[in-house]
Chains A and B, each alone.
Chain A
């Protein structure tokens, strides 16, 4: 249906299959339809045999969501029901453990081939939740720790996989929830923050990692019970990190979005729970804005053709004006010049730059 990145075959005979190929395809269709019919005629039989048939069919077509549903109906009859409240945690039933592990293996193998198929991710979630509800917390913890490893591997092979990042946050939340019932350390915020640092250092353009970092910072500060000095240190470290990144590749938009994020936390309008430093005075703000503008302007000495620089300067300038209308750090003429450069370098977004000029009234 939605094919992505599959090259079109051209030439006059491209649409004509050889008779041999046609016959082969017809045989494949017949075999596939037989399997579908077989599974569907046994729709009400909740047995290991039919479970095996659904495995076979899902391996051929993991998008067939009804078969995943059918599989779950079978699993529900094969697995024990959930824990009875207040009963002592049972040891995991070996047969149940086998079933859960079997479905983890099945979905793992399929995800390697179809990393973006929603239904496979969905089923993996379901079997894990199911496992968690019937196992003791030590076994459940082992399950989710395995997931964290797995998602690490997936992000290693595709560091921008949207599903994998989302799944990582989900797994971390599960692990933290289980750990609240055990004496071990609960939060994974510090180690997840470290993880984003590692991912960014191996590839500065990894916007997914920058995004996750922005999500983790408020929690990190909260959990560290950071005082004003500690918060200022985090802000300064982040600004230093992004400054290095900007100097490394000023054409990378991921970096500039993160820079915008840091700038937005300085604003008096920023929601308190999102602020990095909570007791900034307007004088502090001016110092930060001036510092950012200073080094960004320095890049212009070597690089005049990068639109992101002018956009950032205008953004910092308009923030600056909000806290100090009479600043002499830059002039309206400077701002006009930056806007002119933006229009020259980025004609695709001409309409946006015209609106910006009107909004800034320059």
Chain B
């Protein structure tokens, strides 16, 4: 089951003025991704299968088409990526890693499949939680991606994301994790990959997301960070990830979801951003790209659709800015 490869290849150079979301095209685009086995790209992106599945399923749920992919097939595939230690690999035969384990948990949550998972793997949920918890360095509060030890605030966010969805946050030292995130704060209010690193919209999302899950947004310099985030919007409406960089649909999501967590989404122009995201669609083959006229992929497709949902584009399911999942799902898991 793959939803990763397969950039769209069609498209018109000129986009119509009155833009709309091509829901059916995007659904068909996502459904088509697993049928591209005669393209080399399909095989070269095997290391992203599980992430791709999360992106595709989330996009479909936000589009209001939760049944567009076969539920049973997805769960079977998930189980084929599970290791004995409770971690998930990107695909069968790939080593376990935090990034895929988080995607697996998000998929199980979205499909409301935790009970079914538990039936098939006894004590499975606890085992996943333990795999994640064991990746925390209890001295520093940081998380490694896997046994090879790379540490990054992305993994810390992923850990809190997955554990909170499973109700297992108590397995880790949340306070230490919060301290570490706080030590990554910069003078501009933003956050980097580790203490001392330059602020970067993707890392801001992970750090603000982690602090939101931990209930510690009081540690954020909200006025400064809000200002820095709002300056990511460029004249064409799109948002970039750092000063003097180009606009991009994925960065647009990380910036606007962070603004939403700080209750400052009104600090940017939502109408212009909506128009920018819609221009990134491939009106023929479906899917969204990083910016208008580029190749589409499922990664930018989900972040584009999630962005439109946050901007209250009509007809979409509400997205949770902290988890990038349907709000109805996180409400069910978190009980709030």
A residues lining the B interface (CB < 8 Å): 1-10, 14-15, 22, 25-26, 28-29, 32-33, 36, 40, 60-61, 63-66, 69, 72, 118, 122, 125-126, 160, 162, 165-166, 169, 205, 207-208, 211-212, 214-215, 252-254, 257, 260-261, 264, 274, 347-352, 355, 359
> Does B198 lie within 8 Å of A211, measured CB to CB?
yes
Q: Check A348/B268 contact, CB under 8 A, given A15-B9, A72-B148.
A: yes
Q: Taking A1-B4, A1-B52, A166-B194 as contacts, is the C-beta distance between A65 and B94 under 8 angstroms?
A: yes
In B262-294, the 8 Å CB interface with A consists of 264, 266-269, 272, 282, 285, 289-291, 293-294
Complex CA–CA separation, A22 to B38 (angstroms): 8
| A212 smallest CB distance to B (angstroms) | 8
Interface SS of chain A: helix
The residue of chain A having its C-beta at the shortest distance from the C-beta of B199 within the complex is: A211
- Give the residues in chain B near A66, CB-CB below 8 Å: 47, 89-90, 93-95
Residue from A61, A125, A211 in contact with B186 in the complex, judged by beta carbons closer than 8 Å: A211
19 contacts between A and B (CB under 8 A): A1-B48, A5-B291, A8-B8, A8-B11, A8-B296, A9-B10, A9-B11, A15-B9, A29-B39, A32-B40, A64-B47, A66-B90, A126-B149, A165-B197, A165-B198, A166-B194, A261-B187, A351-B267, A351-B268
Is A7 within 8 A of B295, CB to CB? yes
A4 touches B248 (CB 8 A): yes
Interface presence of B34 (CB below 8 A): no
Q: Write out, one digit per residue, whether chain B residues 220-252 have a CB within 8 A of any chain A CB (1) or not (0).
A: 000100111011010100000011110010100
Which one, A63, A69, A261, A352, contacts B227 given CB within 8 A?
A352
Q: Is B164 an interface residue (CB 8 A)?
A: no
Query: Which 4 pairs from chain A and chain B are nearest by CB?
Result: A351-B266, A352-B267, A2-B299, A15-B9
Whether B243 contacts A349 by the Cβ 8 Å rule is no
B192 touches A166 (CB 8 A): yes
**In the complex, are the beta carbons of B196 and A4 less than 8 A apart?**
no
Chain A residues with Cβ below 8 Å from B148 are 69, 72, 122, 126
Complex CA gap A252/B231 in Å reads 12
With an 8 A cutoff between CB atoms, is B130 at the interface?
no
- Chain B residues near A9: list those with CB within 8 A: 9-11
CA of A33 to CA of B44, assembled, Å = 10
Report the separation of the CA atoms of residues A214 and B187 in the bound assembly, to the nearest whole angstrom.
Answer: 8
Interface residue from A25, A254, A349 paired with B267 (Cβ < 8 Å): A349
Query: A29 to chain B: which residues have CB within 8 Å?
Result: 38-40, 43
Taking CB as reference atom, which chain A residue is nearest B290? A4
CA distance A269 to B47 in the complex (A): 48
CB–CB B233/A1 < 8 A:
no
A184 to chain B, nearest CB (A): 23
CA distance A22 to B7 in the complex (A): 16
**Beyond A1-B4, A5-B294, A125-B150, is A348–B269 a contact (Cβ under 8 Å)?**
yes
Can you name the residue of chain B whose Cβ is closest to the Cβ of A9? B9
If A3-B295, A10-B13, A349-B233 touch, whether A215 touches B196 (CB-CB below 8 Å) is yes
- The reply to whether A25 and B40 form a contact with Cβ atoms under 8 Å apart is yes
Residue ID in chain A nearest B299 by CB atoms: A2
Interface SS of chain B: loop
- Knowing A1-B4, A349-B267, A350-B269, the reply to whether A8 touches B95 (Cβ < 8 A) is no
Tell me whether A205 and B94 are in contact (CB under 8 A): no
Bits for B38-72, please: 1 = Cβ < 8 Å to A, else 0: 11100111111001100000000000000000000
How many angstroms between the C-alpha atoms of A64 and B44 in the bound complex?
8
CB of B110 closer than 8 Å to a CB of A: no
* B contacts with A, residue count (CB < 8 A): 74
Bound-state Cα–Cα, A180 to B188, Å: 32
CA gap between A175 and B88 in the complex, in Å = 36
* Residue in contact with A207 in the complex, picked from B244, B250, B296, CB distance below 8 Å: B244
Which of chain A's residues has its CB closest to B51's CB?
A1
Given contacts A4-B290, A25-B40, contact A352 B188 (CB under 8 A): no
Name the residue of chain B whose CB is nearest to the CB of A14: B9
In the complex, what distance in Å separates the CA atom of A22 from the CA atom of B282? 23
What is the CA–CA distance of A3 and B7 in the complex, to the nearest angstrom? 8
A3 to B242, CA, bound (A): 19
Q: Is B12 in contact with chain A by the CB < 8 A criterion?
A: yes
Is there a chain A Cβ closer than 8 Å to B200's Cβ? Answer: yes
**B296 surroundings in chain A (CB, below 8 A):** 8
Is the pair B230, A349 in contact by a Cβ cutoff of 8 Å?
A: yes
Whether A63 and B47, one on each chain, are in contact in the complex, defined by CB atoms closer than 8 angstroms, is yes
Nearest Cβ distance between residue A361 and chain B, in whole angstroms? 15
Contact flag A69-B95 (CB < 8 Å), given A1-B5, A3-B290, A5-B294: yes
Given contacts A1-B298, A126-B149, 6 further A-B contacts (CB under 8 A): A69-B148, A122-B150, A165-B197, A169-B197, A205-B243, A352-B264
B9 and A347 within 8 A (CB)? no
CB distance from B50 to the nearest CB of A (A): 12
Residues of B within 8 A of A350 (CB): 269
In the assembled complex, B318 has its CB within 8 A of some CB on chain A: no
Cα–Cα, bound, A134→B227 (Å): 48
Task: Check: B26 CB closer than 8 A to any chain A CB.
Answer: no
Identify which of residues 145-185 in chain B touch chain A, using a CB-to-CB cut-off of 8 Å.
146, 148-150
Instruction: State whether the Cβ of B193 lies closer than 8 Å to any Cβ in chain A.
Output: yes
Q: With A160-B242, A261-B187 given, is the CB distance from A348 to B8 under 8 Å?
A: no
Is A254 a contact of B244 with CB atoms below 8 Å? yes
A78 to B96, CA, bound (A): 24
Distance of A66 Cα from B242 Cα, bound (Å): 31
Is the beta-carbon distance between A355 and B267 smaller than 8 angstroms? yes
Task: State in angstroms the CA–CA spacing of A355 and B226 once bound together.
Answer: 11
A8 and B294 contacting across the interface, CB-CB below 8 Å: yes
Cα A355 to Cα B267 in complex, Å, equals 9
